Structures are given as C-alpha cells and as structure tokens.
Amino acid sequence: MPSTHAPAHRERTTTIPTILARVLFLGAVLAVAAFSVPVMIQLQQWMWLSIVVLATIAIFALYSTKRFVPGKYLFPGTLFLVVFLITPIILTIGYSFTNFGDGTRGTKEQAIDSIVANSVQQSDDSTWYNLSVATQGDPVEGPFTLFLVDPGTGTVYQGDETAPVQEVPSGDVEVTSGFVTDADGYTILDAREVNTAYDTIQQLAVPITDSEAVRIQGANQAFEGSTVLSYDEASDTLTDSRSGEVYSVGTVGDTEYFVNADGERAFSQSWLQGVGLSNYERLFTNAGIAKQFGAAFVWTLVFSIGSVLLTFVVGFALALVLNDERVKGRRLYRSVLLMPYAVPGFISLLVWSNFYNRDFGLINETLGLHLNWMGDPTLAKAAVLLTNLWMGFPYMFIVSTGALQSIPSDVMEAARMDGASRLQTTIKVVTPLLLVAVAPLLVASFAFNFNNFNAIQLLTEGGPFLPGEYTRGGTDILISMIYRIAFGGSGADFGFASAVSVALFALTGVLAAIQFRFTTVLEDVN
Amino acid sequence: MSISTPTPAHSLSPGASQEPSSAPHRMPFARWMSEIGWRHVVAVAAMAFAIFPILFVVSASLNPLGTVSSSGLLPTAFSLTHYQELLRGARGPFLQWYLNTVIVCGVVALVQVFLSTLAAYAFSRFRFTGRRIGLLSLLLVMMFPAILAMIAVYTMLSGLGQVVPFLGLNSLPGYIVVLLGGSLGQVWLIKGFFDTVPKELDEAAIIDGCTHWQVFTKILLPTLTPILATTVLLALVGVLSEFLLGSIFLTADDKKTLAVGLYGLLQGDRSNNLGVFAAGSVMIMIPVIILYQFLQRYIVGGATAGAVKG
C-alpha cells in the first residue's frame, strides 16, 4: 500500500519512547487475549473467540511493522464497525433462514427439559412455597427467576428454567413476612408487573430432579410436583405415564415439534432449526403481508421525500430571506432558529405528541379546532410531517446559509449587470449553485428519514390502526412495521422479522445506489 | 449590493402584524417594508414557530399540576415542585441517569469522532487499493438501520457478558461498546474537513522529517480543532436521543440514561407525568442550547463544509 506523497525511502527517526509505547501496547493486547481466550473456550463463546483471535493477529500484523500505514489509521474504527454492525447484520441474515423466535430459542435438549418440567402435576402431598418472581433482565420479557420460601421451615430457595432449585444462603436475600422482598443482583417484580408478565411466568417450570419440578399457582404461590412425561433418547419420543400416549418428532408448518399419533402439534415448545427459504416465501407470497408491505413502502417514500422537501424548502427560503446584509438582528434570528436543532430528538417528539391530543392538545386548543389528529390516518400523517418539519428545518437553514455565503458574490453581480432582477438571480443562478452543493446532504437526509424509526415510534407508535388491522397503522413506515412484527404482541417471530429486515436492508441499498447515480457521488470520490 | 427591483411584497407571511418598528429612516417606510421589512416579518414568524414548543416545555415544567390539560404556552403558575421532585430522586435516580448520560454520550461521541478522524485521515491523505470501495461501502453500511439487527446484538452482548461481566447486558460499558459500532459514522464529514486543508502543508512537513503520525497530530488536528469539537457536540446530541437500544439493554433503574428513564416516566402516565418529564427535558436542553449558541459559528461552518465537500 504505497502512499503517493510520502517519500518511500526516507529513513524515519525511531525514538526510544515510541518503541517503548509500541511494545507496551502490543504486550497489553497480548495479555488481554491470553486472559480471555481460555474463558471463552470454557464458555463455548466461539464467535467471540474468533473475534479476539482475529483482532489480535490483525493488531500485531498492523502495528508491529512500519508497513500498511493507512491500515493503522483505519483499523480501530473498522474493528468496532465489524464487530457491532457487520457481524450482527450477518447473524441477522443467518437468523432469516431459521425459525428463531419465542419457544424456539434454545436447543432440542432445552425444549425437552422444558416440556417435561411443564408436565408437573400437583399431588395431595405437594409442598407449597411462598413465591416471589425476580428478574435480572426485563420485568416483562424476563428471564425470570423464582424465589421460594418454605413456610414451614423458612428456608429460601431459588431456581429458574435452566438452573435447578437450590438453597439460598440467608445473607443474600431479605425475607419480609414470609416472602423474599430483596435479593442481590435481582429486581423483585411487584404485583402489577407479575400480572403483566403472568402468561410467561405461568409457563415456568423449575426442575428439582429429573422427575420433579416447581410450578406456579396464582401470583404468590408455587407447588412442588412430579412430572408425568418422560423422554426416551433411543426412540426420540416423549411418553405420558398416565395416559400411555407417545409423542414423536414431526414437522408442523416449517418447524419440528413433538406431535401426537395423529401428527398434531402436542406442545408449543420447539427448538432452533433451519427452515430454508420459508420465511422469505411467507413474505413474498402471503398476499396480506405483501400488500401491507407495499402500502407501508409507499408511505415511507412519501414521508422521507416529503420530510426532505419540506425542511429544505422552508430552511432554504429562510436562509434566502435572511441573507441580506441590510437586515439588522440576523444573529439573533439565526440563534433562535437554530434552537430546535439543539433539542434532543426524543424530547421534541414526545412533546409534540402531546400537542396533538384531541381534547387538551396545544394545537386544537390554541386554534380552536376539534381535529382528531391521532385518530384520522390523513391528519396523523400530516402531524408526523409537521413535527419532522420543525425538527429538520433548522439544519437545512444552517446548511443553506453556509452554502449561500460560499457562493462567490461576483457570480451574482455578473447576473445583475446582465439585467437580471433580484428574483431572477435567486431562481436562475443562486438556487442551482446551492442545490449542487447541498445535494449530498439531501440524499443523506432522505436515507436517514427512510429509516427514521424514532420519529414514528415516539410520535404515533405507527397509529392510528384501522379496526381489525394490527400489522400496519396509518403512519407506519417500513421499519416501525417490522419492529411491530418482530417484537409486538403475539409471540416474537425473530426468524421472520430477520427476513423482513434483510429485505428492507436490500431495499435501502438499492435506493442508495440509485441516489449515488443521481448525485454523482460515485464519480466524484477523490 | 446595489438596490434594484423590489421583491414583490405578496410573499408576506400571515403573521404580518408583528412587524418590528426599528426602521432605518434613510428610506421611505413603504420602500423599506418592501425590501427589508418583510424579511423581519418572515423571520419573526419563523422564530415563533421555532420557539413555541420550547416555551411549552418550560411552561409545563413550571406548572405545578403537571398535566397535559393544564399546560399552555405561558406558565399560569410558577412552581419548582417538578424540579425538586426529580432532583430529590422521588421519580427514580434522576441524578444517576444524568451522570450515566454524560458518561455514555461523552465517551461515545469522543471515541466516535476520534476513530472517524483517524480513518478520515487515511482516506484523505493516502492512496491505497480498496480506498474507493471502502468509502462507498462505508456509506452503505452506515445506512443499515442498526435496530433491525437488535436481536443479534442482544445475543452477542449477552455472550460477551458471560466472558467479561462488566461488558454484558444491563451495563453502561456494554451499552457504550454497542453504540461504538457506529464509530466510523463521521468519516465522510471529517474527510470533507481534511480535504479543505492543502496537501502542500503536510508534504512540506514530511520533507522536514515528520512522520505520518506527526503530520496528523501536529498539523492537521490543530487546524481542525474547532470544527472537530463541534462534530463531537453534534455526535453527542445524536447519542443523547438514542433510547431504543438503551431501553432494551439498560433495564436496572440505576443503569438507565435520561432518554430511557424519562421515556419510561412519560409512558407510565402520559397525561399526568408531563410536568416531571418537562422539568427533566429542560435540564437536558439548557446546557445543549447554550453550547450550541457558543459554537454557532462552527456549527454553521461544519455543516457547510460537509455540504460543499460532500
């Protein structure tokens, strides 16, 4: 990798501090790698292991010699980019060929364990526990851990789906009136949170031994019982010891489940499997989804192009109006017009969402209107655009002001001497010059708005929804719709969501390529 | 600039009544109005549009009732209860959120701009194979909406947390490294700045015996310090608004950032928690607005350099 201007044969001075710094740095890298590699092998984190090994090799190759000078500067940022942006993209593409989702997160062994533990039946001599539900993650999504207090002995136990029940040293938890109320490293769910997540919590079965497990009854009770189902590895079947029924592995839809003799799905649990192209087939052949996708695409284009045009026209017009040296107080005007740009976006959006309240919102109240902004799809779209105008016009104003000032004044003087009026000069000379200068920024702004998730999610959450329509709301752009498919309501279907994400990414890429052609960015890279 | 055909006055905005009275008396009023005065009218109308939501936030934060229905543009009563409530920690550890936000935004913005600057230097000053492709694919990759790969990032981070606990889920360092995935986000902008500095300058330095690193630290960085500082500020405000990944990764109350925490507060009860939310917003907005005012000159310069240089 030769550089054009650095004289290649010059002997550069090598000082002792620089060598020392280099040795210390490379030594530190090696130390980190040596510390983390065994841990990663032990935890079977193969992906992180390969990242660490490759990064260490790259660092030594780049920084121990004097070669690859551009690489030395490019490497640090590229490392983060590859690890936290490109790797997830590749993983997402991988997920799009699987059935990854709720109920299919784990391995087949985990699914079997869960099915068996869930078959726990209460018997007359079951032990009952006082239950507290805790989490180290999210109070809605889990994962949940159960804290159990034996009311007879006062002994505290804990366990979750993967970790069997074990006794907890009394110092680690705080027990108030028979219930665990505080535990190190955990958040205890309050009654309301338990209620919200009850459907998930109710499914929990915490194994004690192979044939015994703890299940939940009500919000604060759990019982110990024995399992009815057992797994036979040789025949790969589950057997119900009460009814004698045998369940074997069979395919339902595109996913393998345990099915009964008639081939019907017997348990909701499944495991992570490759499903080929079926997620993509579903996306492109399911008429309902394809139609919603198309409609959302049209509005996404209208929204992003409309936002760019509106903000640019307003910003540019203001820049033109104020770009006259005879106007006093321009500094003050500019300072104030800059302010919306300084307000963090999430605040602006949440505040504006209050303005559209039908009964008390500022807009209806001030203007004496009774418009149902968030209930009518057309009004809601207008509201989204108006808000985006407020958030975006200062940027366009700044950019246009700067670009206007960089247009040489002799160009305008020449036009004026040729007899052009002020208006003609503006339209025929200034505007084209300025458009050339700001075109790349307009493209960037379009690309940003095309996937401007926050603008929709914080303002309207995609709404309003037509009666009976849950996939796409009136203001949903593609990305907010995908977000709802992936994480909304009825069970997360990550495999399908990944397929839609990949489709959206491809779409973004195509649009970007088209724009590159128009703005000649491709030709101009120097 | 010579005076010519007056611009038609029909472009007056509806808010024409608020015309400022400080007219220079050198020309007749009608002519002043048609050439300059209307510009003030438009500017004042635009200012009103720009500032009314900010006024609303300030007034809502001072309104003791704190509900949507009782808040207007001008405060009807003056009370600092919402501020006191937040600072006292009655609605969650607000000061901790503030500190977390300062740490996250500061570290991410600084590292992001620094790494982008390094890469931009290579792209601007060296010619190497893959340079053009690198620049263009960078543009494309940065367009990928990161939240779509959220599931993958979540899985990765929980794996990393098992190896290095302090980098896992629900930890600020973990959240920071995830956001650093956008480390090269400012390369194009900063490369634009570098391209404005004449190459003759570093060629001369190299002839004088400077290494490429010395050219970078002793010549280019000092020249661009103000504009890079502004880029840091712009990046910082960008990170300030990140709430989606934050709301997934940072679930413990004392790990939240302001965006995540305040959003949670408002979501809890949209119509009655407005006052507290507004008070929190004011405490975030004020420092940023003040910084923007100080750096205004550079912000305009920075945005324009990006515009002109692409």
Residues A316 and A416 reside in one and the same domain: yes
Strands in A339-383 per DSSP E: none
* Strand partners for A166: A158
Instruction: Give, for B233, the enclosing helix (H) or strand (E).
Output: helix B221-240
pLDDT for position A315 = 94
- Asked casually if ipTM beats, i.e. exceeds, 0.85, the reply is no
Percentage of chain A beyond pLDDT 90 is 15
| Residue span of the structural domain in which B38 resides | 9-79
Which of A258-267, A493-502, B236-245 has the least mean pLDDT? A258-267
- Is the separation of the CB atoms in A354 and A362 below 8 Å? yes
Query: Is residue A299 included in any domain, yes or no?
Result: yes
- B36, B52, B79 - which closes a domain: B79
Minimal-distance CA residue of chain B relative to A71: B122
Of A203, A227, A251, which residue constitutes the final position of a domain?
A: A227
Compute the distance between CA of residue A509 and CA of residue A447 in angstroms, rounded to an integer.
Answer: 10
* pLDDT tens readout for residues A171-204: 778 888 888 888 877 888 887 888 877 777 777 7
CA dihedral over A320, A321, A326, A330, signed as positive or negative: negative
- Is A418 inside any structural domain? yes
**CA-to-CA distance for A456 and A459, rounded, in angstroms?**
5
B164 vs A contacts (CB less than 8 Å)? 36
Q: Are A299 and A380 in contact (CB under 8 A)?
A: no
A3 contact residues in B (CB cutoff 8 A): 125-128, 212
Tokens of A227: 């399992």
Task: Give me the pLDDT at residue B200, please.
Answer: 85
pLDDT tens-digit readout, B297-310: 777 666 655 443 33
Neighbours of A413 (CB within 10 A): 13
B131/A contact by beta carbon, under 8 A: yes
pLDDT (mean) for A260-273? 75
Question: What is the tens place of the pLDDT at every residue in B18-60?
Answer: 444 444 556 788 888 777 888 899 999 999 999 999 999 998 8
Q: How many residues does chain A have?
A: 526
Together in a domain, B99 and B233: yes
Q: Are B182 and B153 in contact (CB under 8 A)?
A: no
pLDDT of residue B8: 40
* Whether residue A330 sits in one domain with residue A188: no
The one-letter amino acid at B182? G
Mean pLDDT confidence for A410-439: 82
Give the model's pLDDT for residue B26. 65
Q: Would you place residue B225 in the very low, low, confident or very high pLDDT band (cuts 50, 70, 90)? A: confident
Domain end, chosen from A95, A112, A144, is at: A95
Which of the given ranges, A112-121, B67-76, B124-133, has the highest pLDDT on average?
Answer: B124-133
Cβ contact (<8 Å) for A81 and B307?
Answer: no
Question: In chain B, positions 5-44, which contact chain A (CB-CB < 8 Å)?
Answer: 5, 7-8, 22, 24, 35-36, 39-40, 42-43
pLDDT tens-digit series, residues A377-404: 899 999 999 999 999 999 899 888 888 8
- Check whether A258 has a pLDDT greater than 60: yes
The pLDDT value given to residue A348: 92
Mean pLDDT of A28-47: 87
pLDDT digits (tens, 9 = 90+) for A446-467: 888 988 888 998 898 887 888 7
Tens of pLDDT, residues A197-236: 777 777 777 877 777 788 887 777 888 877 777 787 787 8
Q: What is the pLDDT of residue A9?
A: 44
Alpha carbon distance B190, A40 (integer Å): 37
- On the question of pLDDT at B72 being above 90, the answer is no
Q: At B78, give phi and psi (nearest 5°).
A: -120, 120
Cβ(A396)–Cβ(A316) under 8 Å? yes
Domain that holds residue A447: 287-524
* pLDDT band per the 50, 70, 90 thresholds, residue A520: low
Considering only residues 111 to 150 of chain A, which have any Cβ-Cβ distance to chain B shorter than 8 Å?
136-139
Cβ-count burial A150-165 (b if 16+ within 10 Å, e if not): beeeeebbbbbbeebb
Span B219-242, average pLDDT: 84
Mean pLDDT (chain B, rounded)? 81
Best mutation target among A347, A357, A401, A413 (most B Cβ atoms within 10 Å) is A347
Mean per-residue pLDDT, A301-310? 95
Looking at mean pLDDT, say which of A291-295, B110-114, B304-308 comes out highest: B110-114
Instruction: Find out whether B227 and B298 touch, Cβ atoms under 8 Å.
Output: yes
Per-residue pLDDT at B19: 43
* Closest C-alpha among B229, B245, B282 to residue B55: B282
Do residue A370 and residue A472 come from a single domain? yes
Partner B contacted by A91 (CB < 8 A): yes
Query: Is the pLDDT confidence value at A136 over 60?
Result: yes
What integer pLDDT is reported at residue A254 of this predicted model?
A: 67
- 3-state SS assignment for residue A107: coil
- Indicate whether A303 belongs to any domain: yes
Kindly state whether residue B144 falls inside one of the protein's structural domains.
yes
- Selected residues 198-257 of chain A with any CB under 8 Å from a CB in chain B: none
Per-residue DSSP letter, A12? P
- Taking CA–CA distances from B68, the nearest residue in chain A reads A360
CB-based contacts of A135, cutoff 8 Å, min separation 6: A142, A143, A144, A145, A186, A187, A189
Contact yes or no for B37/B21 (Cβ under 8 A): no
Q: Which of A135-149, B181-195, B264-278, B279-293 has the highest mean pLDDT?
A: B279-293
**B70 in the same domain as B100:** no
Q: Is residue A43, in this structure, part of any structural domain at all?
A: yes
Residue B3, in any domain of the structure: no
**Looking up tokens 């999210």, which residue turns up?**
A138
Nearest to A29 by CA among A70, A76, A71: A76
Q: What is the CATH number of the domain that holds A469?
A: 1.10.3720.10
How far is it, in rounded angstroms, from Cα B88 to Cα B95? 9
State the pLDDT at residue B218.
86
In this model, does residue B214 exceed pLDDT 50? yes
What residues of chain B lie within 8 A of the CB of A480, using their CB? Answer: none
Task: Report whether pLDDT(A7) > 50.
Answer: no
Looking at the structure, tell me whether residues B46 and B182 fall in a common domain.
no
Domain boundary (A194, A212, A227) is at: A227
Please state the separation of Cα B55 from the chain's center in Å. 20
Q: How confident is the model at residue B266 (pLDDT cuts 50, 70, 90)?
A: confident
pLDDT at position A259 over 90: no
* Strand segments (E) across A44-125: 120-121
Q: Round to whole Å and give the CA distance between B156 and A144.
A: 20
Under 8 Å between Cβ of A481 and A294? no
Chain B hits for A498, Cβ within 8 Å: 151
Side-chain-facing half-sphere of A357: CA atoms under 13 Å: 19
The residue assigned the tokens 């300059």 is B36
Check: CB of residue A104 under 8 Å from CB of residue A272: yes
Domain membership flag for residue B86: no
**How near does any CA of chain A get to the CA of B61, in Å?**
12
The alpha carbon dihedral of A410, B306, A350, B62 has a sign of negative
Q: Which of A329-333, A437-441, B74-78, B103-107 has the highest mean pLDDT?
A: B103-107
Q: What's chain A's average pLDDT? A: 82
Instruction: Say whether A337 and B46 touch across the interface (CB within 8 A).
Output: yes
Please tell me whether residues B131 and B19 are part of one structural domain. no
Backbone angles phi, psi at A274, to 5 degrees: -75, 140
Specify the pLDDT at position A387. Answer: 95
Last residue of a domain, one of B29, B44, B79: B79
Does A320 lie at the interface with B, CB-CB under 8 angstroms?
no
* A366 inside domain: yes
The answer to whether the beta carbons of residues A188 and A132 sit under 8 Å apart is: yes
Question: Does residue B77 have a pLDDT over 80?
Answer: no
What is the arithmetic mean of pLDDT over A419-442? 81
Do residues A165 and A214 touch, judged by C-beta distance below 8 A?
yes
pLDDT, tens only, A79-134? 999 999 899 999 999 988 988 876 666 777 777 777 777 777 777 777 788 888 88
Strand partners, A238: A231, A247
Judgement on whether residues B142 and B177 belong to the same structural domain of the protein: yes
Query: Percentage of residues in chain B with pLDDT exceeding 70?
Result: 87
What is the total count of domains within chain A?
3
Host H or E run for residue B264: helix B258-268
pLDDT of B305 reads 53
A239 in a structural domain: no
Q: Which two tokens stand for residue A147?
A: 């804290």
Using the beta-carbon criterion (under 8 Å), do B281 and A351 form an inter-chain contact? yes
Residue B207 sits at the vertex; the CA angle it makes with B203 and B213, to the nearest 5 degrees, is: 70
Rounded CA-CA distance B123/B126 in Å is 6
Is the pLDDT at A488 greater than 70, yes or no? no
